[in-house]
Amino acid sequence: MKRLIIALCLVIMEGQFYNNYAQFTEPSITFDKTSFNFGNINELDGLKTHVFSFTNNGSQPLIINDITSTCGCTVPEWIKEPIPPGGTGTVKVTFDPLGRPGAFRKNIAVKTNARESTVVLYIVGLVSPKPKTVADDFPIKIGNLRLATNHVSMQTVLNSQIKVDTVRIFNDSDSLLNVSISDAPVHLSFSVLPPSLEPKKRGLIYVAFDARKMNDWGFVLSRVIFRLNGVPVTENMLAVSATIQEDFSKLTPEQKLSAPRAKLDEESFNFGTITPGQPVAHDFILKNEGKDPLIIRKISTTCGCTASKPDKYEIKGGESTTLKCTFDSRGKIGKQFQTVTLIVNDPLQSMLVLRFIGNVESTGK
């Protein structure tokens, strides 16, 4: 037993000696500090740098293989030559605060041939945001008029609804500016307050979207032209979009029970792999499982490469219609995901999406 204990002790001592010897004969990197706090800095102060110092405490040359940071705002620089035993070196870290207001913590991974192959450095701080300018608050410029946005998204609008939104505006000139919008579509109306903007003053445009005046469904987009001091300005326009849905809220319980029910035999078709120019056609079957007639209000596609035409737009209860869809692969390369959207009068699902999926590969000729 005594011999066994002695043998075990010798093995442990030998392992410790090997580890100590290996550590002594390998390069070893030791940083004076592994983190630095920049404190409070301003976004417009420009680049900020800090230099981390290290020592090779091993007995072999130290080589920094690579240094990576967590984002492009932090750029490291380091010595590329081997650091001899006992030698010192630096890692310079540059941080760009522009466009990055708020607290930050960035990691810089230093990868070497040392026993501790990766050492992580940290820089932290707080970036005070730059003062906002007129261009920041009103980035869209139309003549001497500036807008907070040139796109008003009404999102979902019921076909029985009027929805109102606003756009903030600014007179970027040194004189009075009369703002108006003419020749707007019938479903859009605009009120500018005040209609005459004093120099360097702000105002509002009230946009009213009246879906009751539209004979359309699904996503719609309109653009209007501003008149500044009576002169139309066409360099930029204001876009107003919405997705029009049917209002089923006034249906009685009896009407809901007899309402149409849209049912597709399949929602997607995978045409596999084809070559450019090779046509693809597929028939989708749409059935009305309700009692009242199912009406196809609108058919739209993702692009001109798909088309669909049903044999009828009104389907009686229990009947079906065939949706003949085609995909034109001319000019297409790679994976394809094309859709055909149907707007119907089913209160449970008024929007149906058909999908064409596949891959178009060039023959290389």
CATH of the domain at 65: 2.60.40.10
In a domain, 85, yes or no: yes
In a domain, 22, yes or no: no
Q: Are strands 102-112 and 118-128 parallel, antiparallel or unpaired?
A: antiparallel
| Shared domain check, 299 and 279 | yes
In a domain, 20, yes or no: no
Total domains in the fold of the chain: 3
In a domain, 4, yes or no: no
| Shared domain check, 95 and 117 | yes
Residue 144: domain span: 134-245
Report the side by side order of strands in the sheet with 35-42: 35-42, 118-128, 102-112, 64-69
In a domain, 19, yes or no: no
In a domain, 13, yes or no: no
Task: Examine the fold and report which residue of 225, 245, 265 is the final residue of a domain before the chain moves on.
Answer: 245
- 3-state SS assignment for residue 250: coil
Task: Examine the fold and report which residue of 101, 128, 155 is the final residue of a domain before the chain moves on.
Answer: 128
Q: Give every CB contact of residue 314 below 8 A, 6+ residues apart in sequence.
A: 293, 294, 295, 296
Per-residue pLDDT of the chain (365 residues; tens, 9 = 90+): 555 555 455 445 555 544 444 445 789 999 999 999 999 999 999 999 999 999 999 999 999 999 998 887 788 999 889 999 999 999 999 999 998 999 999 999 999 999 888 999 999 999 999 888 999 999 999 999 999 999 999 999 999 999 999 999 999 999 999 999 988 999 999 999 999 999 999 999 999 999 999 989 999 999 999 999 999 998 889 999 999 999 999 999 999 999 999 999 999 999 999 999 888 999 999 999 999 999 999 999 887 677 777 889 999 999 999 999 988 888 888 999 999 999 999 999 999 999 999 999 987 65
| Shared domain check, 80 and 167 | no
| Shared domain check, 201 and 275 | no
| Shared domain check, 258 and 158 | no
Task: Examine the fold and report which residue of 185, 212, 245 is the final residue of a domain before the chain moves on.
Answer: 245
Residue whose C-alpha is closest to residue 165's, from 177, 149, 181: 149
| Shared domain check, 205 and 260 | no
What pLDDT, on a 0 to 100 scale, did the predictor assign at position 16? 52
| Shared domain check, 151 and 71 | no
| Shared domain check, 143 and 228 | yes
| Shared domain check, 188 and 236 | yes
| Shared domain check, 60 and 100 | yes
| Shared domain check, 187 and 98 | no
In a domain, 41, yes or no: yes
First-to-last C-alpha distance (Å) of the chain? 82
The C-alpha atoms of residue 73 and residue 97 are separated, in whole angstroms, by: 7
Q: Which two tokens stand for residue 254?
A: 């009896």
Give the helix/strand (H/E) hosting 21. Answer: helix 2-25
| Shared domain check, 45 and 65 | yes
In a domain, 14, yes or no: no
